[in-house]
Amino acid sequence: MSYQTETRCRACGSDTLREVIGFGDTPLADRLVHTKNLDKPDYSVPLTVVFCAHCSLVQIRETIPPEILFHDDYPYFSSVSPSLLKHFQDSAVAIAARRGLGPESKVIEAASNDGYMLRKFIELGIPVLGIDPAPGPVRAATEAGVPTRHDFFTREMAAILVAEGEAPADVFLANNVLAHVPDLNGFIQGIRTVLKPDGVAVIEAPWVVDLIDHVEFDTIYHQHLCYFSVTALDRVFRGNGLYLNDVEHTTVHGGSLRLFVEPVEAPGERVTRMLAEERERGATTFGYYRAFADRVTALRAELRELLEGLKRDGKRIAGYGAAAKACTLLSFTGIDREILDFVADRNEVKHGWYMGGNLLPVVPPQKILEEMPDYVLILAWNFADEIMRDLDEYRLAGGRFIIPLPEPRIVTDRAQWAAV
């Protein structure tokens, strides 16, 4: 496997990187294994989290070429999750109203996936353009009537869009992609290039403070190169001629930020407040993240003890959610086919494939009702409510759920989970 070990910060270029935690050799997230490749070596690359003492950016050392990560069989489709689809379509309606968008406006989205959000703008009569590097989602978007380019959004691509008359844009969208970008500064400069002087970039990204608070170590994987605080974001945007003027805190993906970034500086109260909160909580210091590493190690031991105890009692356990985060969780905790029987997932594209590393089979959710395992370990815990609702028949028949984070616990219904 070809990868590069970074020695300087991805944002500021400083060499003051301090190691927070190493997860060891880890399979690549969202790179499922086909039946024909079960006897071949699997990709596995070190996964090391570091902290930049100069600009406070949390990041991983290892960079894998994007063409390896976003390959022809890339299986992630945003529209699969009803709750995620509603979140971004509601966001589209709010943005269109807030900015007064209409037929003369233009919305461009980087990493537009299967057009899950742009479809809503089209319904509102607003011209759009999607850009995405994964062939499968691009085909799905095009078939759904969303104009989409099969490519990575870069500073160079931004210049091409301007030259071809596809830009400038009133709104630029980037949902859960900023963390994936190897050239962070180039990507932000590309945003600056395609925005109108009075335009806005609306960007969503997980908040590192939520990751720390809830011990969400499984959201760390090779596709996620960076883990953002508001402090680090404010600095990197300023360094590239853009300004973080507003921010909203959402519950998506275990806790995310919706950023409103513009070419003119006008920071609002929420930005100022969150910057102060991060300083007060120590999120700009190395010690804050080292304490997190200790909690991760303890959680791993607790989860192993719970699952191994259930297996000793003769219980059967299945997983739910062949998600990217499942890759890190299963690998770091050593959960394999001796503990789980299979991993169910709603995404039909993943059925018949196998998880990387442990080679657990990925099956339809119906398999849970057919096999009736005693417990279901919810690997995609950020959609736990949605998953338990879908598996209500399983619960009523006596099935139980295991939520792994922020501490391993067994729940019998959605109300019990929500109360924690």
Inside any domain, residue 72: no
Q: Cβ distance 24 to 46 under 8 Å? A: yes
Do 88 and 221 lie in one domain? The reply is: yes
Inside any domain, residue 295: no
Residue 419, pLDDT score: 47
Do 136 and 255 lie in one domain? The reply is: yes
Which CATH number does the domain housing residue 374 bear?
3.40.50.720
Last residue of a domain, one of 287, 315, 343: 287
Contacts for 266 with CB less than 8 Å, ≥ 6 apart? 243, 245
| DSSP 8-state symbol, 397 | T
Q: State how far the alpha carbon of 403 is from the alpha carbons of 95, 302, 319, 382, in Å.
A: 34, 12, 11, 10
Alpha carbon 347 to chain centroid distance? 16
The arrangement of strands across the sheet holding 17-27 comes to 17-27, 44-52, 58-60, 226-227
Do 102 and 158 lie in one domain? The reply is: yes
Do 42 and 123 lie in one domain? The reply is: no
Q: What's the structural domain count of the chain?
A: 3
CA distance 19 to 154: 29
Q: For 357-390, what is each residue's pLDDT tens digit?
A: 899 999 999 999 999 999 999 999 988 999 999 9
Task: Kindly report the number of other CB atoms within 10 A of residue 386's CB atom.
Answer: 16
Q: Cβ distance 320 to 390 under 8 Å? A: no
Do 25 and 156 lie in one domain? The reply is: no
Amino acid at 194: V
Average pLDDT, the chain: 93
Q: For 247-260, what is each residue's pLDDT tens digit?
A: 999 988 778 999 99
Do 25 and 154 lie in one domain? The reply is: no
CA distance 57 to 321: 29
**Percentage of the chain surpassing pLDDT 90?**
81
Do 119 and 149 lie in one domain? The reply is: yes
Helical H segments across 217-285, by residue range = 230-238, 269-281
Residue 344, pLDDT score: 97
Inside any domain, residue 123: yes
Q: State how far the alpha carbon of 391 is from the alpha carbons of 79, 231, 282, 386, 413, in Å.
A: 19, 40, 40, 9, 10
Inside any domain, residue 71: no
Provide the residue range defining the domain that includes 159.
78-287
Do 145 and 275 lie in one domain? The reply is: yes
Inside any domain, residue 298: no
Do 232 and 347 lie in one domain? The reply is: no
**Count H helices, E strands: the chain?**
15, 19
Residue 78, pLDDT score: 61
Residue 417 pLDDT exceeds 60: no
Q: For 17-67, what is each residue's pLDDT tens digit?
A: 999 999 999 998 878 888 877 877 778 899 999 999 999 999 999 999 877
Do 310 and 270 lie in one domain? The reply is: no
Inside any domain, residue 414: yes
Residue 202 pLDDT exceeds 60: yes
Residue 367, pLDDT score: 98
Range 207-221 average pLDDT: 96
Last residue of a domain, one of 36, 62, 88: 62
Do 225 and 352 lie in one domain? The reply is: no
CA distance 121 to 202: 14
Q: Angle between the 230-238 and 184-194 helix axes, to the nearest 10 degrees? A: 60
Inside any domain, residue 69: no
Q: For 275-317, what is each residue's pLDDT tens digit?
A: 999 999 999 999 999 999 999 999 999 999 999 999 999 999 9
Which CATH number does the domain housing residue 264 bear?
3.40.50.150
Residue 82, pLDDT score: 80
Residue 409, pLDDT score: 95
| DSSP 8-state symbol, 35 | G
Last residue of a domain, one of 287, 322, 349: 287
Do 252 and 344 lie in one domain? The reply is: no
Inside any domain, residue 111: yes
Amino acid at 191: I
Q: State how far the alpha carbon of 40 is from the alpha carbons of 14, 25, 36, 287, 322, in Å.
A: 39, 17, 9, 41, 20
Q: For 311-340, what is each residue's pLDDT tens digit?
A: 999 999 999 999 989 999 999 999 999 999
Helical H segments across 239-375, by residue range = 269-281, 286-312, 324-333, 366-371
Q: For 118-166, what is each residue's pLDDT tens digit?
A: 999 999 999 999 999 888 889 999 999 999 999 999 999 999 999 999 9
